[in-house]
Amino acid sequence: MAVKVGVQYKLPTDTTISAIWEKTRRKLPSFLEIQNERTRDNATWLAVTQKLTDADNVSVGWAHAGGTPGDPGQHNTPAVVTDPTGVFGTPHPDNQANMLTAALKHNLNKATLVYFDWALTLNHPFAHYDLGAGGRGLTTDCHDASQLAAFDPTTGTVSGNGPRCWAGGRLQGFSLGMNYRF
């Protein structure tokens, strides 16, 4: 279950303020709740866009992902065995994260837009949020130069144990691009 509420208001100064609040719930058996990193009470997004000219605007944003009740301990975070069945997890981990963004957009004409944007994700020790994971780029937290795990049919074994994903990272990126609508 998820609940999301968003509002947007444009001021007479050509400043637009946008906000989103979200709450998510995932039902799990009680013995697996220690792995529940999908239930979240608060996720928020706040953005301000200022029109500079008829062709230019600048935006800044802040996102916050609140904590979750569990963590499966699958990255570089410590895992705790909670019962004889081998269920792993960490109860009430510090897996909050913040993201700061900025963007500058320029309309060349009605169909063509050029942009520059920047983002910084600040993960708490157990958080593993990424940049590019939404499909617009390469993800960055699971690329650590370890050999990819792969089955070798000639030997019948698996070689490599990567890539490793790292929680607690500080990821930063930018993009420069053009959007043409026809």
CA–CA distance, 41 with 45 (Å, rounded to integer): 14
CA–CA distance, 155 with 105 (Å, rounded to integer): 54
pLDDT of residue 1: 92
pLDDT of residue 168: 85
pLDDT of residue 133: 60
Residue 109 Cα distances to 35, 52, 55, 125, 156, angstroms: 50, 16, 8, 45, 58
pLDDT of residue 74: 67
pLDDT of residue 164: 63
pLDDT of residue 31: 83
CA–CA distance, 145 with 106 (Å, rounded to integer): 37
CA–CA distance, 92 with 38 (Å, rounded to integer): 12
CA–CA distance, 180 with 17 (Å, rounded to integer): 26
Tokens of 30: 């009680």
What residues does each domain of the chain span? 2-180
CA–CA distance, 114 with 29 (Å, rounded to integer): 49
pLDDT of residue 83: 59
Cβ–Cβ contacts within 10 Å for residue 11, how many? 10
Q: List 41's β-bridge partners, or say none.
A: none
Taking only the tens of pLDDT, the chain with its 182 residues reads 999 999 999 999 999 999 999 999 999 898 888 888 889 889 999 999 999 999 999 999 999 999 998 887 666 676 665 556 666 677 788 899 999 999 999 999 999 999 999 999 999 988 888 876 655 555 555 655 566 667 778 888 877 766 666 788 888 989 999 999 99
